[in-house]
Amino acid sequence: MTGTSERIGAHIDPAGRMELIEIGERAGTGACVDFRRIELAGISSQPLVKACGPKGLLVDATAGFGGDAWILAAAGFDVTCIERSLVVAAVLDDGISRAKTDPALAAVAKRIELKVGEAAHLLAKVLPEDARRHATLYLDPMYPPKEGSALAPKPIRLIRLAVGDGPDAAELVAAGRAAHYRRIVVKRPHHAPHLDGTPHHEIEGKLARFDVYISHTTNGRTGPSE
Ligand SMILES: C[S@@+](CC[C@H](N)C(=O)[O-])C[C@H]1O[C@@H](n2cnc3c(N)ncnc32)[C@H](O)[C@@H]1O
């Protein structure tokens, strides 16, 4: 588990929400989790949702601020989030708790559960093995910013300050395979190499690519139409 970096902390903003903020900055200038801002129109045709396959149990092992988890829960998945940064997890937990008390968000929020810790250790514990054999594992690891690319949005810049880059991302794919997840979906920038060899198929989104790895163990049938 990673703790708070020296430059980043969390505190309550003037609106009563926990925010991730650079130490020394004024309250209210950080980033909080606000699921009301997430656009859900046409979600079932979003590349993220298509890549994650048939609705069911899904583990988002790199939860961050939970934006992808929210879209997947709204699309009908039951999502277990894992986040190893204590400070990022605290901000996410605050966002989920507030959503559970908001009548417009509560139904989706109830489909999300948060576990705090190192995903490589938790993947085989958060679901029983028979459930993992049908479940999707979703990974959106940090990646180094591309030189000359536009400035990342504030939440991502602050998360990067809190957790650094994700040099161990490939280990999560290996841990997911070892834990027998049916489908492993890895979000990658368009310019990045595959994390774990050639995927079964790829789905291109506007801002990212989704590499889909499918295990052959449950019923012997695999295919992009899944
Ligand atoms: C790019 S952010 C994820 C953003 C997220 N998909 C969203 O929509 O907000 C990556 C997050 O994964 C977390 N992370 C990376 N490796 C992890 C691991 N092995 N176990 C648990 N969390 C991890 C980082 O701390 C960071 O918060």
| Per-residue model confidence as pLDDT tens digits over 71-123 | 999 999 999 999 999 999 999 999 999 999 999 999 999 999 999 999 999 99
The predicted model gives 167-190 an average pLDDT of 95
Q: What does the block give as tokens for 81?
A: 């989030």
Farthest-apart Cα atoms in the chain, separation: 56
SS3 (DSSP) at 71: helix
Band of the pLDDT at 220, cuts 50, 70, 90?
very low
Structure confidence at residue 143 (pLDDT)? 79
Nearest to 114 by CA among 101, 103, 99, 128: 99
The predicted model gives 180-189 an average pLDDT of 97
User: In CATH, which superfamily holds the domain spanning 8-214?
Assistant: Vaccinia Virus protein VP39 (3.40.50.150)
C-alpha–C-alpha distance, residues 56 and 69, integer Å: 13
> Residue with structure tokens 């794919």?
173
> Residue with structure tokens 């709204």?
74
Taking the CA atoms of the chain, what radius of gyration do you get in angstroms? 17
Residue 77 DSSP one-character state: -
Cα angle, residue 161 at apex, residues 14 and 165 outer, rounded to 5°: 145
- The count of other CB atoms within 10 Å of the CB of residue 23 is 12
Q: Does residue 134 or residue 6 have the better pLDDT?
A: 134
Mean pLDDT over all residues of the chain?
91
162 lines ligand 1 (CB under 6 A): no
Structure confidence at residue 146 (pLDDT)? 67
Q: Does residue 211 or residue 217 have the better pLDDT?
A: 211
32 lines ligand 1 (CB under 6 A): no
172 lines ligand 1 (CB under 6 A): yes
Structure confidence at residue 198 (pLDDT)? 95
46 lines ligand 1 (CB under 6 A): no
148 phi and psi, to 5 degrees? 80, 0
Structure confidence at residue 1 (pLDDT)? 46
Q: Residue ranges per domain, the chain? A: 8-214
Ligand 1: centre distance to CA 84 (Å): 7
Name the closest-CA residue to atom 19, ligand 1. 119
Cα angle, residue 36 at apex, residues 30 and 37 outer, rounded to 5°: 60
Q: What does the block give as tokens for 208?
A: 């990212």
For 23-40, the pLDDT digits (tens) are 999 989 999 999 999 999
Residue 101 CA to its chain's centroid (Å): 22
Residue 144 has pLDDT above 90, yes or no: no
204 phi and psi, to 5 degrees? -90, 130
Ligand 1: centre distance to CA 91 (Å): 13
The predicted model gives 146-173 an average pLDDT of 83
166 lines ligand 1 (CB under 6 A): yes
Atom of ligand 1 nearest to the CA of 187: 6
209 phi and psi, to 5 degrees? -115, 145
CB 146 within 8 Å of CB 191? yes
Ligand 1: centre distance to CA 131 (Å): 23
Residue 200 has pLDDT above 60, yes or no: yes
Structure confidence at residue 102 (pLDDT)? 97
SS3 (DSSP) at 109: helix
159 lines ligand 1 (CB under 6 A): yes
Ligand 1: centre distance to CA 4 (Å): 14
Pocket test of ligand 1: the residue of 92, 142, 161, 188 to mutate, having most ligand atoms within 8 Å of its CB, is: 142
CB 53 within 8 Å of CB 221? no
176 lines ligand 1 (CB under 6 A): no
C-alpha–C-alpha distance, residues 143 and 44, integer Å: 26
84 lines ligand 1 (CB under 6 A): yes
Band of the pLDDT at 147, cuts 50, 70, 90?
low
